[in-house]
Amino acid sequence: MHERPSPPASWRVALPHSTAAVPVARALVRSALAELEHASDTDTAELLTAELVANAVEHTSGDAPIELVVKVLPNGCTVEVHDPDPEPPGDLAHAADHEPDLWEEGGRGLLLIRALSSACGHRPTESGKAVWFRLAAVPRQRQWRPRPA
């Protein structure tokens, strides 16, 4: 008997336009992916989500909420962060023409997203833009347990 794949699920959550949104977004992504048989790498999903949310807070003005959208599919997940600024982020599709300065605190977020996701990009929305990444599903690791003596 074959197990039926779980149906797609999605969550949309408004987050405050502040740095307090970053840990909340990380926890939401971890919770969304935790229950799945074949989940995306939750650590990577958390890291990339934190980068997108931090960028949205840092690079957009005002206090309009930021939206986190998590779509869980049988073959992986897509995470989107919606913000009110229609200006596209730096280039997600191609490597930058220069390496980030090792002494600077910032400048590595989009590099991480490009390097660690299976796909990423941005698109305009009615109220601004959505920046997204996709992670492929990976089988859960079985935990090794020693046999009792």
Structural domains of the chain ordered from first start? 9-97+110-139 (3.30.565.10)
Q: What is the DSSP letter of 103?
A: T
For residue 82, CA distances in Å to 27, 50, 126, 147 come to: 18, 13, 10, 49
9 versus 97: the higher-pLDDT residue is 9
Q: Are 67 and 12 in contact (CB under 8 A)?
A: yes
Q: What is the DSSP letter of 77?
A: E
Intra-chain end-to-end CA distance of the chain, in Å: 35
Q: Band of the pLDDT at 13, cuts 50, 70, 90? A: very high
What is the model's pTM? 0.79
Q: Which residue has the tokens 């960028």?
A: 55
